[in-house]
């Protein structure tokens, strides 16, 4: 995917899309092999996507491939068919391809626990040497890579959840590359200033950031099933103050549309202004009077580490002004955090914030708002269920005409805003911190770590 969100050839050399965007035919590049030297064919591509769509696999992306059929009539052709238009499908073709010859005999229920999960074989520029959960991932150059063996032979990804430890590693040059968008809890203005100091062996570049989304739910449970409560919470949050105190001047801008794909953003959506008086009125109307201690109800406000802890505490303090007692609960690493959130009520009820990269197509966000994706492990984590919204979203993706889709997404944005289902707080400013020893590194940061390209980079002993 190019920086302007248009598809570029990679494993597929070319493709055709039917006039109604329901049939996609890809030509798979010849001569590509997996890192074990075995050939990658269209059958591997078909096998991978069949597993995505199979409900017995319980893939996190299953909802994106409902009713899809995929076939490989020969080694170099794969055909995807959908019963209705799928104008966004091209943005779902970035997933890594798995080798059918290794996994075809593994029962679906065992795929997640198979050794392949921690020692995978792929076709990318590097291959896995070792993986220690929550600690690090070690890679070595793939000598079978179809573009040629990369010049950087070894890469170690460190999983750091403690902000102080991460900052220490950066300052002591134990980390050669850091993308702040990839740090789960985000970084404060003070953190950014610290890593962007006067170290001549590192340089800092600004890149597009991520949108922080506020979730309340699950919305089939009290008090979040009441739209007045959700609206009151949004009117209780002073976004400008949080940006100034946590992210600093220039560290973020207020956003109002849940859809973050540039062409789908509705510029006319009215913001939820900070208005404590109105928030109190809404909670009164919702039937949540103050008790003798001034509290209307209690809830949890979940957070990871990082800057999210700081802004979560500020939000909790602001909610006390309207009688909502929010306990800040630090869950820890992002995997556990998101896993608890997506468990559909089995362990969570409260308020969350999650970062959202810029989506190449608004259908990615739409999936989070469709009731068909509200299951344990599904992407509709707030359990949104609105028939009118669902109908508009289905119309938006029922045509390949972007102008028509845009108008439907404008409507969907209005509904999401009015109903306060999911709310964009702000768009952060992102940064790359790069060692001067890393040469020919490229990234625009719009998709976080997914946009970091080291294929053609190399390591130099001198700066």
- 418 band by pLDDT with thresholds 50, 70 and 90: very high
Residues 142-158 have pLDDT tens digits of 999 999 999 999 999 98
The CATH class, in words, for 126-208+428-459 is alpha beta
Closest CA to 129 of 154, 152, 150: 154
pLDDT digits (tens, 9 = 90+) for 298-327: 999 999 888 899 999 999 999 999 999 999
In whole angstroms, what is the distance from residue 433 CA to residue 441 CA? 11
SS3 of 187-220: CCHHHHHHHCCCCCCEEEEEEEEEEEEEEEECCC
Residue 343 has pLDDT above 90, yes or no: no
Task: Give the pairing type, strands 12-17 and 324-332.
Answer: unpaired
Q: Is the pLDDT of residue 141 over 80?
A: yes
At residue 444, the pLDDT reads 56
67, 72, 77, 80: CA torsion to nearest 10: 0
Is residue 232 within 8 A of residue 377, CB to CB? The reply is no
Give the pLDDT score at 59: 84
State whether residue 62 is helix, strand or coil: helix
Q: What is the pTM of this model?
A: 0.83
pLDDT at 374 over 90: no
Q: Is residue 203 within 8 Å of 174, Cβ to Cβ?
A: no
Which DSSP letter does residue 221 get?
Answer: S
Reduced to 3 states (helix: H, G, I; strand: E, B; else coil), residue 326 is strand
Looking only at the bridges linking them, the beta strands covering 458-459 and 438-439 are antiparallel
What SS3 state is found at 67? coil
pLDDT at 291 (0 to 100): 97
Contacts of 306 (CB under 8 A, 6+ apart): 163, 183, 184, 185, 186, 187
Query: What are the pLDDT digits (tens) for 203-245?
Result: 777 777 788 999 998 888 899 999 999 999 999 999 999 999 9
Tell me: the pLDDT tens digits for 11-27?
999 999 999 899 999 99
By CB neighbour count within 10 A (0-12 exposed, 13-18 middle, 19+ buried), where does 364 fall? buried
- pLDDT over threshold 70, residue 1: no
Instruction: In whole angstroms, give the CA distance from residue 289 to residue 297.
Output: 9
pLDDT greater than 70 at residue 445: no
Phi, psi of 188 (to 5 degrees): -80, 170
pLDDT digits (tens, 9 = 90+) for 36-88: 999 999 999 999 999 999 999 988 788 788 899 999 999 999 999 999 899 99
pLDDT average, residue stretch 90-115: 92
* pLDDT bracket for residue 451 (50, 70, 90): low
210-427 topology per CATH: Dipeptide-binding Protein; domain 3 (3.10.105)
Average pLDDT over residues 330-344: 78
Return the pLDDT at 99. Answer: 97
Q: Residue 7: what pLDDT?
A: 81
Cα(283)–Cα(295) distance, integer angstroms: 11
In the predicted structure, residue 443 carries a pLDDT above the cut 80: no
Is residue 88 within 8 A of residue 361, CB to CB? The reply is yes
**How many residues comprise the chain?**
463
Q: Where are the domains of the chain?
A: 12-117, 126-208+428-459, 210-427
If we measure between CA atoms, which residue out of 376, 304, 380, 370 comes closest to residue 343?
376
Kindly state which CATH superfamily the domain 12-117 is placed in: Dipeptide-binding Protein; Domain 1 (3.90.76.10)
Question: pLDDT, tens digit, for every residue of 181-202?
Answer: 777 677 888 887 777 665 677 7
Alpha-carbon distance of 339 to 332, in angstroms, equals 11
More confident residue, 30 or 200: 30
Judged by DSSP in three states, 294 sits in coil
Of 111-115, 121-125, 335-339, which has the strongest mean pLDDT? 121-125
DSSP notation for 231-262: HHHHHT--HHHHIIIII-TTSEEE---S--SG
Q: Say if residue 449's pLDDT is above 50.
A: no
Mean of the pLDDT values across residues 383-406? Answer: 94
φ, ψ for residue 172 (rounded to 5)? Answer: -90, 10
Is residue 125 a contact partner of residue 147, using CB atoms and an 8 Å limit? yes
Pair 33, 25: CB distance under 8 Å = no
Q: What CA–CA distance (Å, rounded) separates 310 from 340?
A: 20
- The residue ranking higher by pLDDT, 100 or 248, is 100
d(CA 253, CA 425): 9
């Amino acid at each position: 995917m190019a920086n302007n969100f248009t598809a570029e050839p990679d494993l597929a050399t070319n493709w055709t899309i039917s006039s109604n965007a329901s049939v996609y035919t890809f030509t798979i590049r010849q001569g590509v092999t997996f890192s074990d030297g075995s050939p990658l064919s269209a059958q591997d591509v078909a096998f991978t996507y069949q597993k995505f769509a199979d409900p017995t696999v319980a893939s996190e992306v299953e909802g994106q491939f409902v009713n899809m059929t995929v076939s490989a009539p020969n080694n170099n052709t794969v055909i995807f068919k959908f019963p209705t238009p799928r104008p966004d499908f091209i943005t779902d073709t970035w997933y890594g391809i798995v080798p059918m010859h290794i996994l075809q005999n593994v029962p679906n229920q065992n795929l997640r626990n198979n050794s392949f999960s921690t020692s995978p074989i792929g076709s990318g520029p590097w291959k896995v040497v070792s993986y220690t959960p929550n600690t690090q991932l070690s890679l070595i150059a793939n000598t079978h890579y179809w573009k040629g063996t990369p010049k950087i032979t070894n890469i170690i990804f460190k999983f750091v959840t403690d902000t102080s430890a991460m900052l220490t590693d950066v300052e002591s040059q134990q980390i050669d590359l850091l993308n702040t968008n990839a740090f789960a809890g985000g970084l404060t203005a003070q953190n950014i200033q610290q890593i962007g100091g006067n170290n001549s062996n590192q340089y800092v570049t600004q890149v597009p950031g991520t949108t922080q989304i506020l979730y309340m739910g699950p919305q089939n449970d009290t008090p979040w099933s009441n739209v007045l409560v959700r609206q009151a919470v949004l009117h209780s949050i002073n976004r400008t103050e949080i940006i100034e105190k946590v992210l600093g001047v220039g560290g973020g801008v207020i956003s109002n549309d849940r859809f973050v794909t540039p062409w789908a953003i509705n510029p006319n959506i009215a913001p939820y202004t900070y208005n404590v008086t109105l928030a109190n009125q809404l909670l009164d109307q919702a039937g949540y009077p103050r008790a003798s201690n001034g509290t209307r109800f209690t809830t949890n406000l979940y957070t990871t580490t990082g800057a999210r802890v700081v802004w979560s505490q500020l939000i909790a303090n602001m909610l006390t002004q309207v009688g909502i007692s929010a306990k800040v609960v630090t869950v820890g690493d992002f995997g556990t955090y998101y896993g608890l959130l997506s468990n559909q009520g089995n362990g969570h009820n409260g308020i969350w914030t999650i970062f959202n990269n810029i989506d190449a197509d608004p259908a990615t966000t739409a999936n989070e708002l469709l009731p068909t994706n509200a299951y344990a492990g599904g992407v509709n984590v707030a359990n949104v269920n609105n028939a009118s919204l669902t109908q508009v979203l289905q119309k938006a993706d029922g045509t390949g005409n972007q102008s028509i889709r845009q108008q439907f997404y404008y409507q969907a944005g209005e509904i999401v805003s009015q109903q306060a289902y999911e709310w964009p707080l702000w768009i952060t400013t992102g940064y790359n911190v790069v060692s001067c020893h890393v040469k020919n590194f490229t990234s625009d940061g719009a998709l976080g770590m997914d946009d970091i390209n080291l294929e053609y980079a190399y390591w130099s002993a001198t700066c």
